[in-house]
Structure 1
């Protein structure tokens, strides 16, 4: 895995989230699309809080205090890390995730983007020193090491940019 390349892609994705935020008016930001699904506000809440959570798991791996390395990647984890994307079919978010997503305002979204970027900034250089067997469990992908967590963050950010584009088309 090329850490610098993944990092550039994460920065680009966060830049896209920030730019898109400036093009969405306040009313549309919290509006639920026709036919259901998440609003922009809910996607921003999910993706940025997930990024922060994943950065904590990544950091635990860089400090070599992850969980026991028992178990490896799930089939979905192998697919996503190999292909660099989510599978080509829709997946439903776990129920506990659906229940935790909330509508945030644009200012909170901006602050979460800044916070996410700072967390990633502070961790990226530590990945090279992380032990490959220092892993932390992802709920769907299995046991990930620091480099895999960084790649997951990039894949997840890019996946939800596509979701934001679908919302734009539906509004």
Structure 2
């Protein structure tokens, strides 16, 4: 694993740990509440992020088997990564891709169960990436559903900007579902 990939993973893990620390301070009764049926709860946003990362890991495992067929990640892959980051930072709303939306969400047993599952998945990602040959990190190995082929570094940069976007959403949700406090 390259130092840059390790740095991306460390930042992702730090963001996840900060999220967990924050949500542990919140009343768990609010984490599954939503203002309307078409809007997501905090638990649903967490599931979406976890599914997105988990589906990406499955895809990466499959693609890494055909290292010889992978194209080098060049200027186009870097441009796609940059454009994806730019769009994800914008207020434009997107429909979740199939396999990472409400059609696959399940009832959440507890915050501890969901956060533990996500943490385990992140550990699997780190372990998998640590076992890959170095030459794969310079290849177009990850297909984002909307922007196309990216390098593993591009995938991790997407994970971060995707996480950041939905972290803001979770903060908005909690602010909206909590009852107004009395002065």
Q: Report the number of matched residues.
A: 169
1:87 maps to 90
Cα root mean square deviation, aligned:
3.3
Structure 2: 5+ residue stretches without partners: 178-183
Taking structure 1 as reference, are residues 62 and 68 closer, same or farther at Cα in structure 2, changes over 3 Å only? closer
Mapped pair 1:122 → 2:127: yes
Of the structure 1 ranges 53-62 and 10-19, higher mean CA displacement relative to structure 2 is found in 53-62
1:77-156 aligned at under 5 Å gives the runs 77-81=81-85, 83=86, 85-94=88-97, 97-105=101-109, 106-125=111-130, 126=132, 128-130=134-136, 132-156=138-162
Larger Rg computed on CA atoms:
2
User: Alignment partner of 1:130: what SS?
Assistant: helix
Mark the CA change 1:113 to 1:36 in structure 2 (over 3 Å): closer, same or farther. same
Provide the rounded CA distance (Å) in 1 between the counterparts of 2:159 and 2:98: 21
Once the two structures are superposed, the pairs formed by residues 1-171 of structure 1 within 5 Å of their partners are 2-33=4-35, 36-65=38-67, 77-81=81-85, 83=86, 85-94=88-97, 97-105=101-109, 106-125=111-130, 126=132, 128-130=134-136, 132-171=138-177
Contact kept? 2:8, 2:153, Cα under 8 Å: no
